[in-house]
């Protein structure tokens, strides 16, 4: 599959130098990094708010920037939707009027694209049409802002930390709608975040920025399970993601059985029908390793695998990460240095990953 987004730019903003190079064919590309790493600057280059001094930007096969031949498509002609940290709705307009404002920017000659009823259904905001922005919760305002951007029929949607100003309850409210947008609307998304949990749940492609440079870029599941990406692997939220499907339910035990590339997993009961696709997140700190299959333990999930890589020790601390290959799927485990030494772990060692059902997270 050809890349939907291609970026190779260099630009200096005062003392800060942006020198970024990546390509992505993912449905949702996350730009991830610490504050000041260049995420928002890169988004502004893609959107046309910043004209880079050097480089090239291509979106869905259309050249937006090419400094070598003097091409720079102005922002109003790029057809890029932008959702900010704050919803930025017009306070004097109703929700309906705010949404329809987006249509002013849609190409008049095209019949395709987002229809109002489709957007209302996708975002669950049909009952809000007559309200004023002041009567909306933070999550509702952001959903309306997303809807307004979609009605402009963008070829790309940029979301610059859209959940940063929301509390945890409102974040949980809006995340499923972003997933629906990612999976069902056919519009590529570039999503800026410094939250590992958001990236693990939403991103199909991950771009890691550090001091203005792209340090790594690739499929999210692959990068999340590597022990040599310090910004991810040494975090308390370090872990792996697995694509799964609901196999069956055991209501008598309150469990759901999932089919994953790493093997079957038993997790706490979910309300998803059989056959539903889910994304599973397993924290590295919730994975134990054994050299033999274990009997007589409370943990219900024991996955065979081999050690693929062992990360470096955390400074002067006593922990490190181990990447496992479980039938081709990557799984990250966090161990003490002492445990790794006692197990005599090395690349190629056969091990068993032990995971408690109650520790496995799904949306």
Please write the tens of the pLDDT for every residue from 193-239: 989 999 999 999 999 999 999 999 999 999 999 998 878 888 888 89
Helix axes of 116-123 and 168-184: crossing angle, nearest 10 degrees? 130
Q: Would you say the pTM of this structure is higher than 0.85?
A: yes
Q: What is the mean pLDDT of residues 35-64?
A: 94
Per-residue confidence (pLDDT) for residue 1, from 0 to 100: 53
pLDDT confidence of residue 110: 54
Q: pLDDT exceeding 90 applies to what percent of the chain?
A: 65
Mean pLDDT of 275-294: 94
Mapping DSSP to helix (H, G, I), strand (E, B) and coil, where does residue 309 land? strand
Calculated CA dihedral for residues 351, 199, 212, 164, nearest 10 degrees: -140
The pairing of beta strand 28-32 with beta strand 189-193: parallel
Cα 130 from Cα 197, distance rounded (Å): 34
Name the β-bridge partners of 258. Answer: 246, 265
Question: Tokens representing 186?
Answer: 């056919």
Mean pLDDT of the chain: 91
Identify the structural domains of the chain with CATH numbers, from first to last: 5-220 (3.40.50.300), 239-359 (2.40.50.100)
pLDDT, average across residues 246-264: 96
pLDDT band at 341, cuts 50/70/90? Answer: very high
Residue among 232, 213, 223 at smallest CA distance from 7: 213
* Element of type H or E holding 296: none
* End-to-end Cα, the chain, rounded Å: 28
The radius of gyration computed from the CA coordinates of the chain, to the nearest angstrom, equals 22
What is the pLDDT confidence band of residue 109, given thresholds at 50, 70 and 90? low
Residue 317 has a pLDDT of 78
């Amino acid at each position: 599959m050809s890349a939907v987004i291609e970026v190779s730019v260099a630009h200096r903003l005062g003392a800060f130098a942006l020198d970024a190079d990546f390509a992505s064919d993912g449905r949702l590309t996350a730009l991830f990094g610490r504050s000041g790493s260049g995420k928002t600057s890169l988004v502004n280059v893609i959107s046309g708010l910043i004209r880079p001094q050097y480089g090239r930007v291509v979106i869905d096969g259309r050249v937006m920037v090419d400094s070598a031949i003097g091409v720079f498509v102005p922002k109003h002609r790029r057809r890029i939707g932008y959702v900010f940290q704050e919803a930025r709705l017009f306070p004097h307009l109703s929700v309906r009027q705010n949404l329809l404002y987006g249509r002013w920017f849609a190409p008049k000659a095209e019949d395709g694209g987002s229809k109002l009823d489709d957007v209302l259904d996708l975002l669950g905001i049909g009952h809000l049409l007559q309200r004023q922005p002041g009567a909306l919760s933070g999550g509702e305002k952001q959903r309306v802002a997303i809807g307004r951007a979609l009605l402009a029929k963008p070829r790309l949607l940029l979301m610059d930390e859209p959940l940063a100003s929301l509390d945890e309850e409102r974040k949980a409210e809006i995340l499923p709608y972003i997933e629906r947008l990612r999976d069902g609307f056919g519009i590529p998304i570039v999503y800026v975040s410094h939250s590992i949990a958001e990236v693990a749940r939403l991103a199909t492609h991950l771009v890691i920025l550090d001091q203005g440079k792209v340090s790594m870029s690739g499929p999210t599941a692959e990068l999340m399970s590597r022990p040599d990406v310090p910004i991810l692997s040494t975090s308390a939220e370090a872990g792996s993601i697995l694509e799964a499907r609901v196999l069956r339910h055991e209501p008598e035990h309150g469990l759901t059985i999932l089919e994953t590339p790493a093997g079957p997993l038993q997790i706490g009961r979910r309300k998803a029908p059989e056959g539903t696709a889910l994304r599973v997140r397993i924290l590295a700190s919730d994975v134990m390793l054994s050299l033999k299959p274990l009997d007589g333990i409370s943990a219900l999930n024991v996955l065979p695998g081999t050690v693929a890589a062992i990360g470096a020790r955390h400074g002067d601390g006593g922990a490190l990460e181990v990447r496992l290959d479980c039938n081709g799927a990557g799984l990250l485990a966090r161990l003490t240095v002492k445990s790794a030494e006692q197990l005599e772990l090395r690349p190629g060692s056969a091990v068993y990953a032990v995971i408690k059902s109650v520790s496995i997270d799904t949306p």
